Homo-oligomer: A and B are copies of this chain.
Amino acid sequence: MASPGKRTSRSGSNKVRIEEVARLAGVSAITVSRALNTPQKVNEATRNAVLKAVEDTGYIPNRLAGSLASNRSRTVGVIVPTVTNSIFADKIKGLSDVLSEAGYQILLGQSGYSPEVEAELVSALLAQSPSGLVITGSAHALRTHTLLGRADIPVVETWTNAEAPVDMQVGFSNEDAAFAAVAHLAAGGYRSLALVVAPMVHNDRALGRKRGFDRGLAHFGLRQTLPPIEAEFSLRNGADALARVIEAQPQTDAIFFANDVLAAGALLECRRRNVAVPDRIGIIGFDDLEIASEMVPRLTTVAVPRYDIGANAARMLLRRLAGETIQPKLTLDFEVVARESTRRTCGDRV
């Protein structure tokens, strides 16, 4: 019973192939392909016959073969530092919602904030012939630039608004947003500030926020009480940073946390230490996560378009793949959301 000669079927699987569907529908394989991929090119009656055959056989097209033949994979590579940071989870949600609507799948990679790992991931994802790539930030290893330059696919950088993107870009100015945060603190009468920010090496978002902070200090004539504290996002790290600031530089009257999780951790530490917020010390965060609006006191923060970065990156990619010529740089808005963790003065608009 086994085939005697060459391999007639290498796959041990019992998968239905397009040929079988074609036979059942009484058409050729290419017509089945067209009925599924470009239905408008197939007569309605034929199409229905094909769809019925697909239904009856339980046919699932082999996209690997289709992609290989057509040179279009309907797959998008997505690289984030980590999914466990909810700002990136929100971005992925935005990407996923738009892409799956259009029939695209997401290939996910996590770089752990390492440019070397990112380069490896780019290489690994390119091997899958994705239709496009969505990456985070604009600071990449040289090898990444080489790879992206050689790969002939659309690339969207997110969470950044660099001068010269690799290809396309969706984000906002981290620097301007941080500046706005400082402006808000200045308007509240705070004068002696501290900065707590994510580790800045290889992280252009964090770096931009520091630059905006520095620009704000200079512009409003404020002073910085101690060098920036670099801490990965976690409540504990925020609490520790708060402790370090008020112990080392008790005259500090406000702290800018470049992340709401850090800021929330600090607020909780203030509670434990009975430090009055916003009077003894003002706290401003960044991202406008849900925790900001629910903390006691409620946390002033900078709202950024976390979900929309993803959704717009996806739309940009799809338009480009559809052959539209598009504006390659999209700069979205941010907004300072004044709440109870900072003093307000009238007319505090940014």
Contact = CB atoms under 8 A, between A and B. Distances in A.
A13 interface: yes
B64 A68 contact: yes
A53 B77 CA distance: 27
A107 B109 contact: no
A150 B58 contact: yes
A69 to B, nearest CB: 8
B90 A294 contact: no
Question: 6 shortest A-B CB distances, which residue pairs?
Answer: A235-B294, A63-B127, A83-B89, A108-B108, A13-B152, A84-B89
A234 interface: yes
Contacts of A293: 236
User: Looking at chain A, what size class is its interface with the partner chain?
Assistant: 35 or more
Contacts of A61: 127
B93 A84 contact: yes
A13 B110 CA distance: 27
A345 interface: no
Nearest to A83: B89
A14 interface: yes
Given A58-B150, A84-B86, A127-B60, A272 B290 contact: no
A63 B101 CA distance: 25
Nearest to A239: B294
A105 B109 contact: yes
A67 B63 CA distance: 11
The number of times this chain is found in the oligomer is: 2
Name the residue among A62, A64, A73 with the largest chain B CB count within 10 angstroms: A64
A38 to B, nearest CB: 17
21 contacts: A13-B71, A15-B152, A60-B127, A63-B127, A64-B64, A64-B67, A64-B68, A64-B73, A75-B107, A75-B128, A83-B93, A83-B96, A96-B110, A100-B110, A105-B124, A106-B109, A107-B107, A107-B108, A236-B294, A268-B295, A271-B296
Nearest to A146: B58
A118 to B, nearest CB: 12
A148 to B, nearest CB: 12
A106 B105 contact: no
Interface string A46-86: 00000000000010111111011001010100100011101
Given A13-B71, A239-B294, 9 more contacts: A10-B71, A14-B150, A58-B147, A62-B127, A64-B68, A75-B128, A83-B92, A100-B124, A105-B125
